[in-house]
Amino acid sequence: MTEKRIAIVTGGASGIGFGISEALVKAGYVVVLVGRNEERLAEAAERLGPAAQWRRADVGCRSDVEDAFSGFSRIDVLVNAAGFIRPVSLATPVDEAEQNWDAVVAANLKGSFLATMIAAPKLVSPGGRVINISSIGAQTGGSRAGGLAYAASKAGLHGLTFALARELAPRGITANAIAPGFIADTGFTGAWPEERVAEIVAETPMGRAGTPADIAGAVLWLVSEAGSFVTGTVIPVNGGWRIG
């Protein structure tokens, strides 16, 4: 009997992470959702069905990640999708700015680093995949003030991706990042005023917001055999927003 392929998705219980998890389940993977909110994890796993499991962990905490990954002897795919945004601008009081900076970098950058470090010895070789979910903000600095921490953490994720690709390539393992543009139906978009959403869509040549399924499609390509010679790249999935 063929051994089931294992995919771990941090931040997999909501938004883009859930969309990726759902696509991987449909592609035949056993998907392990990792996140901090047990209620949300359990609900998401129930929605995904018997091929989904969950582990509670704060990805910025090494012991949490070690515990979450300890039950697996092999990992085929690691998707680092956990992360969030807290506003940090030059106008933010420095105490608040530092606190928000540390929290954002811990989740978005350190969390991806820790998860990959701990997963690396378990990644199938050859054939393993590491996929980091970045953001268009890494390349633009964000579309409004307040993105200092978020943009820096996501830009750091690009450097991490390039370095991982170099180190994992001799084992036949790829490492890539996906940089979404404006994606609807996530926890990020609820705070955006309708007028700003309309402006973004008007600036996007494809004429619509993205969806988690758009990001999941890129993930499915990268984990497939068709993506086996692609490593050390940042793939923009933004409907052309940067050129809009």
Contact indicator for 72, 62 with CB cutoff of 8 Å: no
Contact indicator for 44, 24 with CB cutoff of 8 Å: no
Contact indicator for 17, 219 with CB cutoff of 8 Å: no
* Neighbour-count burial of 171, counting CB atoms closer than 10 A to its CB (0-12 exposed, 13-18 middle, 19+ buried): middle
Active-site positions read: 150
**DSSP codes of every residue in 80-105:** E-------B-TTS-HHHHHHHHHHHH
**DSSP codes of every residue in 184-209:** SSSTTGGGS-HHHHHHHHHH-TTSS-
* Structure token pair of residue 181: 């543009």
How many Å apart are CA 86 and CA 95, to the nearest integer?
14
How many Å apart are CA 127 and CA 168, to the nearest integer?
10
